[in-house]
Each structure stands twice: as C-alpha cells, then as structure tokens.
Structure 1
Amino acid sequence: MLRLCNATAEAESSAASTSQWTPNSVRTGLIARKRGMMVMWDNFGVRFPVTVLQLENCQVTANIKTVRADQSEYHAVQVAASDRSPKNTTKQMLGHFAKAGVPPKRIVKEFPVTPDAHVPVGTTLSAIHFVPGQYVDVIAKSIGKGFQGTMKRWNFKGLRASHGVSISHRSAGAIGAHQDPGRVWPGKKMAGRMGGERITTQNLYVVRVDSDLDLIYVRGCVPGVDDAHVMIRDAKKKMSQLAQHNSAKGLFEKILPKGLTGLPFPAGTKELAKALPPMIVAPSTRVTDPFVPRE
C-alpha cells in the first residue's frame, strides 16, 4: 500500500492536461451502495470503525444547464448507477440511456456543479474520484423505525420512574397551553413514525480507496440499510465553504486537508484509476501515539 502523497501527485499530473481543481470548484458526486461496516487499525494500532461503499458501473448520463428567472445559470451533472435489465426499464428511460450511450440503470441522480466541472456524457466514474485524506458527505434514506414514542423519537426525559406516576413513565406529558391558545401548536414533538427520511451525514474521513473493486472506505457510519444506494459528494462545509474562506484570506496551505495538493478534476475516471496504484490508504489523523504515556 502506498501513501497518499505519492498517489495525489500522480493524480494531479494525470489531470493537469485538462483542468485543475480550485477552491471555487464544485465537483460532481457519486452513487454507491452501502456494503456494510468493518473495523480497521491505524498506524498506531488504534481500532476504528469504517463503512464500505461500492460503486456499480457509475456513469454520467447528462450535463444540465438551465437559466433561472433571475438570469443566473444552474449547472449539474446527471449520474446513474447499477445496471438493470432493459425489460424492467420504461421506454422513456431506455431512450434516455441509449442517447447517453450507457446501459439501463436502476438509479439516476443529479449533482449541482460549477460551470467548469461538467463531465463528458458516458464517462465511467471510479472510486479514485475521492482521494484518501479528504472529507465527504453521504446522503441516503435512513432506516425506518416504525411508530415510536417521544422518548425514542425525540429523546424526551419521560416522567418520574418512582413516586406519583402510574403507568405513564414514558409518556410525553402535557401538550397543550391551557385555554389560551386552547390548541396544540403546530410542530409539537409527539409520537409518530421515526426514520425513513433523507439524511446527510457530514464530514466523513475517506480512509482507503480500492480502484480495482471500486470500494470507498469512510470513517464512521452512514445512513441506510446494507446494499442501499447512497450519494457521496465532497464535504460541503470543509471542502467547499472552508476552502473558499481560506483562499480569500490567503491561507493556501489550509485550503485542502493536510497531505493533499489537489483533487481529480473534473472527475476521477476509470482511465485515471489505471495510472494509479489499485489501493491508496490515507495516513492516520493522529499525531502522537495514544499508547505512550504523556510526560
């Protein structure tokens, strides 16, 4: 396994022929499947959890450009993933995929980008699109928990578990506000269906990338059941807003996380993956050995 610095330098040189990533650039995201969780150990032997995400023939199906009412432009890249049988695809979508020159897909999503980040239609994206050492946001539909009470759904404390309460220990308590206003305020936190909603988990650290199997290892957990489709994009707060802030202040060494000098731009493709090692591992985020006593 090679370290991130060498791999990033090679990735930069390969992508230099087209264009370079800038702090104002917004790249497209990817569609992957959540394969499950496992554990890894860093350079100091510290155990930490990771979630494995796998790409399934993720390809670009369209580039979108529309003009809004205020004459501003909206740019996006449409991405599709997971091949499916043509007989289970509508004729309208079959025509759309045929126009793009890609096989029928199960899921189609679009990611807003900057005008310089459009990707040619039909391009097959690779796991190398995300560089180990950077941060990503993962978007998915959370696991449904069914109808739940206020303690589980909203973390209510509940009523007293000892004196003065009879078979109401986990109830919500009072929900009204006496005769004035004489009603329950809209948005009151009460029992109801929990989960099954679109959730974004932000700022997950990319630990490892396997371009042969198109695997992306991110530190921590992501929403969704195993084998569910998830969307991965560059972390909006750390890789976009913070990068623009540091660039405006002239703090160029803080634009990207430590150890990174650039990102594959406009996207990490299968052709780029062939020029890089099949597996790239990010260095540990720890600076000192946690098992050595402090002096």
Structure 2
Amino acid sequence: MLRLWALRPQASIARVRLLHATVANSATAAPTPSDGIESSKWTPKSIRTGLIARKRGMTAMWDEHGARYPVTVLQLENCQVTANVKTVRKDGSEYHAVQVAASDRPEKTTTKSMLGHFKKAGVASKYIVKEFPVTPDAHVPVGTTLSAIHFVPGQYVDVVSKSIGKGYQGTMKRWNFKGLRASHGVSVSHRSAGAIGAHQDPGRVWPGKKMAGRMGGVRRTTQNLAVMRVDTSLDLIFVRGCVPGVDDAQVMVRDAKKKITASAQINYARGNFDKVLPRNLVTLPFPAGTKELAKSLPPIIACPSTRVTSPFTPRE
C-alpha cells in the first residue's frame, strides 16, 4: 500500500541545518548598516530577550515518518523593542532588561504618557508592553523589529499567558474531587466537598484548604515546548503542544529556562560542548532575530523529526 506521507518532500532536515549554519555565520559576521546591531555571539551564559505573540489556535502536523502531533500557532504582530532597562539594585547588582511592545493601536486610544514613550522610541503605538530580563550583552537597539526567526526550529521555549477563566466552580471540577456516594444515605449532595474541618481542636479550617472558588484566569507558564516550524513571511511560530489562554490572547514566548538556559550552563561547565544546545542546533540568533536576518533565510523552516524509525514499522 502506498503511504501518502511518502509523497511529502523530505527537505526539512536540509533546511533546518542550512538555517543553523546561516545563523552561525550571521552571528560572527559584521552587521549590515540596516541592522544597527553590534556583532556578538551567543554564549551559554547569555540570556536573550523574549517575544510577544498572539495565540492563533491549534492544528496538527505530520513528521517525515507520517506520525501526527499537535501544534499551537503563535503569530507576531509588529513586535518591536521600545526600551533597554539598566538599573542598580540595593545590593549593588545590576538589572538588565529589554522592553518589547506588540500589536499596533490607534494613537487616539493611547494615553499621553505612553504615546510620548512610543514616539521617543520611534515606533507606532502598541497595545501591550512587556519587559524581559537579559544579560548585559543581550541588549537590542531601540526600534528594532523582531522576527519569528528569533526562535530556531529544534529549540525549546517557555510560553507565559493568562489561563482561560472558568468562573466559580466546585471542588469536583476545580480540584478533581470524586464527590460523595451516589446512594446509601447521601441525599442531594453528591457533588459536595464533604467535611472541611476537624473537631474542637484545632476548631478551624486550615489555610490553603481545597474548596470551591474561582477557577482559571491566572498567569500560567508552560515549559519546554519544542519549536517545530517557523514561517518568516507571516511571522508564525509553530510550537508542539498546548499553550495557556484563549485564542487571540497575547502570550510571552522566551527561551526555555530549563532546557536552554540552565542546561547550556551546566553542560558547558562539565565540558559537554556537544550538549550545550539541543541536537542539530549550532547557535541562536544573538542578540535577537530581526527582520533583516529573516530576509536572508527561507520563508518556511521546519524542524527534523526526533524519531529514529517510523512508528508504523512492524516490530520484529
């Protein structure tokens, strides 16, 4: 039987390796006059800025072996750098951050203070402004337009967003309580939480007791999501798995703290230089992936499958 996925082009592996080689060369080469970014190279101790994207929804993709996996589509909406922050804490340490804004908005709906801030940065008015802590070598010039190529297919990211609000919910939905019995003396309280306190000692309900209340609508972080594909023409980022928040919600995307930042520093200190970054990755766009860098790369870059053999091959 002819497998339909066998007819798909098998050029994604070559594309992603070409991308990594291009990024590595771009990081060490002299910047073009249109960039305005000083030449620098990513190191295991570097922490890059994140991006502000809009969650467009979920879909499905297939790898080279025909295995299906879910992805969430994130889109950048004119994400630009509006400020570089550098302050000194009380203990004498320095705090560095990059302020990023996204989603253009009319000037008439922007407050005067923020309107002046955007005009000083030389960018259009934005709906959302966020700040990402970085290392001193990862500052990005103000006014730089960031691209989806900031995240390379094959790396891992953390996505921060506000979860979907469920309203006031009971203990069975909020905390997965099994409820009371369906018979044998239980009357019209089958979904009740049951007893919540003790006897006269302590004579109160302990703080933090799982009870009914507001569910959802809080800040949540989903860690270690793999970047599967990047579309530089539409500024789309395809991450494997689900992302908190409703469709069209604003989300913050950054390098994974565990699998990129912490793992790179640990493996570098141990001398495991081939494990500093995930497999097939050479380096990361540093200090950021810009529109100028995206023009020199293919419009669609896909990540090669992590599977060694096809899951549909019969076992011996």
**TM-score of the superposed pair, with normalisation by structure 1:** 0.98
Asked whether the 8 Å contact 1:34–1:228 carries over to 2, the reply is yes
The correspondence for 2:112, drawn from 63, 85, 91, is 91
Distance 2:222 2:301 in 1: 23
CA deviation string 1:171-210 (max 9, x = no partner): 1111112111111111111000100000100000100000
- Alignment correspondent of 1:200: 221
Distance 1:292 1:192 in 2: 49
- Alignment correspondent of 1:139: 160
- Alignment correspondent of 1:11: 23
Residue 55 (structure 2) pairs with residue 34 (structure 1): yes
Which moves more between the two structures, 166-175 or 22-31? 166-175
Residue 195 (structure 2) pairs with residue 183 (structure 1): no
Distance 1:47 1:163 in 2: 47
- Alignment correspondent of 2:65: 44
- Alignment correspondent of 2:8: none
Q: CA deviation at 1:243?
A: 1.2
Distance 1:177 1:243 in 2: 49
Q: Percent identity, aligned pairs only?
A: 77
Distance 1:86 1:267 in 2: 28
- 3-state secondary structure, aligned to 1:230: strand
CA deviation string 1:231-283 (max 9, x = no partner): 00000110011111111111111111100010000000000001111110000
Provide structure 2 residue ranges, at least 5 long, that are not aligned to the other structure.
1-10, 30-38
- 3-state secondary structure, aligned to 2:267: helix
CA deviation string 1:104-146 (max 9, x = no partner): 0000000000111000000000000000000000000011001
Matches within 5 A, 1:15-164: 15-17=27-29, 18-164=39-185
Provide structure 1 residue ranges, at least 5 long, that are not aligned to the other structure.
none
Q: CA deviation at 1:155?
A: 1.3
- Alignment correspondent of 2:6: none
Asked whether the 8 Å contact 1:33–1:228 carries over to 2, the reply is yes
Which moves more between the two structures, 265-274 or 180-189? 180-189
- Alignment correspondent of 1:277: 298
Distance 1:216 1:161 in 2: 48
Q: Which runs of 4+ in 1 moved over 6 A?
A: none
The correspondence for 2:276, drawn from 255, 259, 262, is 255
Count of equivalent residues: 295
The correspondence for 2:255, drawn from 211, 215, 234, is 234
Q: CA deviation at 1:163?
A: 2.6
Q: CA deviation at 1:167?
A: 2.0
Distance 1:136 1:99 in 2: 31
Distance 1:140 1:51 in 2: 13
**TM-score of the superposed pair, with normalisation by structure 2:** 0.92
Distance 2:253 2:143 in 1: 19
* One-letter amino acid of the counterpart of residue 140, structure 1: S
Q: CA deviation at 1:61?
A: 0.2
